[in-house]
Amino acid sequence: MKKILVTGGLGFIGSHTVVELQEAGFEVVIIDNLLNSKIEVLDNIEKITSQKPEFFNLDLRNKKDVNHFFNTNLIDGIIHFAASKAVGESVEKPLEYYENNINSLVYLLQEMRDHNISNFIFSSSCTVYGQASELPITENSPVKPAESPYGNTKQIGEEIIKDTCKADHLNAIALRYFNPIGAHESIKIGELPLGVPQNLIPYITQTAAGIRKQLSVFGNDYNTPDGTAIRDYIHVVDLAKAHIAALQRLLDKKNNQKFEYFNVGTGKGSSVLEIIHAFENVTQQELNYQIVGRREGDVTAAYADTTKAQSELNWKTEKTLDEALKSAWEWQKRQS
């Protein structure tokens, strides 16, 4: 049984990927520093799969701890989620973002080199494209100057990985996520935003749950059919399965280059107002919202061309937007 390390494996996308890895027959070990996740997620993963992953409460910036981990664990591949990911916060605290996201990655890659581990999946983001000049966005769309230090750490991360693949035995795939939403059908794991949610869906579900008074829609003067910004909202379970497909590609040595990257989205764009109306329809709940000014750094529209992932990873989304929104609402109702 192949043993896969998932860093940040107690986070939103990480935990859903751990579940899919276990169900695909992999042994999973998690490293997480619990700064942006909760230890209860470990038990909830076990409730879903009846397999409790090994867990190490480590910070990847602690070189000594990380080296000890790799000296005592034989790993066949790594899926790397552990990073700070709040766009707005990264603008206020750039050095914390560069120190955490870049140092963690470099130390991890050094250990991979020293322990001859060659299969690496990197959690990247569609923010590397900025406002793409053509839609849907393909992998050939140019990478644009990042709008935030967070987005920049993803771009720099990809460059570091690309150079390391050239120099060492490393084979890597970067998955450029669009907007992950929803929760596992068991409703035992889901998104756990700390504090006031930055992202649209958790803000919507917390407003519907009465935790937030009103959703602010950031701008309705965009050049889109209804004036609100368009994104590609992908069910987090579909996103998790894309990681399994990418990992299997490397394990089976089917990759065409040592460093590859794929857009992971549904291929369909939805505006903020369309999301609100879909949520109201799925939950039969009216949502309290108001239109306010644009949010700094937001792009007008971003949705994926999924041709490459479909043909090379043999992967495509299976869940609908309504299923994602319904699972997000069911998950919200379970939160105390």
Active-site annotation, residues: 150
Residue 123, phi then psi, degrees to nearest 5:
-80, 100
Write the binding mask 116 to 155 for ligand WQD: x where contact by CB under 6 A, - elsewhere. ---------x-x----------------------------
CA distances from 179 to 19, 81, 264 (A): 20, 15, 9
Note whether 177 binds ligand WQD by CB under 6 A.
yes
Residue 24 vs 211, nearer CB to ligand WQD: 211
Q: What is the DSSP annotation of 104-122?
A: HHHHHHHHHHHTT--EEEE
The CA-to-CA distance between both ends of the chain, in Å, stands at 38
Smallest separation, CB 153 to ligand WQD (Å): 11
CB of 202 to ligand WQD, least distance (A): 8
69 torsion bin: left (phi>0), alpha (psi -120 to 50), beta (else): alpha
Structure tokens at 211: 């935790």
217 is a site residue for ligand WQD (CB under 6 A): yes
* DSSP result, 253-275: T--SSSEEEEEES-S--EEHHHH
Segment near ligand WQD (CB under 6 A), from 57-65, 69-77, 192-200, 243-251? 192-200
Nearer to ligand WQD, 257 or 292 (CB): 292
The correct pick among 108, 272, 278, 282 for binding ligand WQD (CB under 6 A) is 272
24's tokens: 């695909």
How many angstroms separate the CA atoms of 62 and 118, rounded? 22
Q: Does residue number 325 form part of the binding site for ligand WQD (CB under 6 A)?
A: no
Distance CA 152, CA 255 (A): 26
Identified binder of ligand WQD from the candidate list 200, 234, 237, 321, rule CB under 6 A = 200
Tell me: does residue 332 bind ligand WQD (CB under 6 A): no
Task: Give the nearer residue to ligand WQD in terms of CB position, either 153 or 164.
Answer: 153
A 10 A CB-CB count for 139 gives: 17
* Other residues' Cβ atoms within 10 Å of the Cβ of residue 98: 17
Report the distance separating Cα 223 and Cα 268, nearest Å: 17
Kindly state the smallest distance separating residue 119's Cβ from ligand WQD, in Å: 22
Cβ nearer to ligand WQD, comparing 85 with 188:
85
Q: Select from 136-144, 182-190, 213-221, 323-331 the region that touches ligand WQD (CB under 6 A).
A: 213-221
Strands (E), the chain: 3-7, 27-31, 54-56, 77-80, 119-125, 171-177, 179-181, 215-218, 230-231, 233-235, 259-264, 270-271, 289-292
Q: How far is the CB of 135 from ligand WQD (least distance, A)?
A: 14
C-alpha span between 317 and 256 (Å, rounded): 23
Q: Quote the least distance from Cβ 295 to ligand WQD, whole Å.
A: 5
* 231 is an interface residue for ligand WQD by CB under 6 A: yes
Q: Is 29 in the site for ligand WQD (CB under 6 A)?
A: no
| Residue 295 binds to ligand WQD (criterion: CB under 6 A) | yes
Contact flag: residue 278 with ligand WQD (CB under 6 A): no
Nearer to ligand WQD, 22 or 207 (CB): 207
Binding site residues, ligand WQD, CB under 6 A: 85, 87, 125, 127, 177, 179, 198-200, 203, 215-218, 229, 231, 272, 295, 298
